[in-house]
Amino acid sequence: MLKPTIAVVASPPGVGKTSLIREQIPKANPAVYFSPGTSNIPIDQTCLATDFPNLKIITDAQDLFLLLHPKLNPHFQG
């Protein structure tokens, strides 16, 4: 069984976080993207979802629900 990889990227605006993330998202495999606190301005989420159709975007509204009910998350293995 493959174990998921979790990467956390944090830095000031404009230094290349989204570019780094683009390089790391698998092209053919499903992946999950969560950027807390950016639901009101989902620029990165929209661009990434367009370029990576296998990418599942987790919104701020979904994060607490998935933490409380992890077995309802289609990416949960355990």
Closest alpha carbon to 57 in 66, 48, 65: 48
Give the pLDDT confidence score for residue 11 in this predicted structure.
86
For 65, the enclosing helix (H) or strand (E) is: helix 60-68
On average, the pLDDT of the chain sits at 76
Q: Domain coordinates of the chain in residue numbers?
A: 17-72
Q: What is the pTM of this model?
A: 0.62
Alpha helices for 1-78 (secondary structure H) = 17-24, 43-51, 60-68
Q: Is 32 exposed, middle or buried (0-12, 13-18, 19+ CB in 10 A)?
A: middle
Give the pLDDT confidence score for residue 67 in this predicted structure.
66
Give the pLDDT confidence score for residue 22 in this predicted structure.
87
Q: And the tokens for 7? A: 């990467």
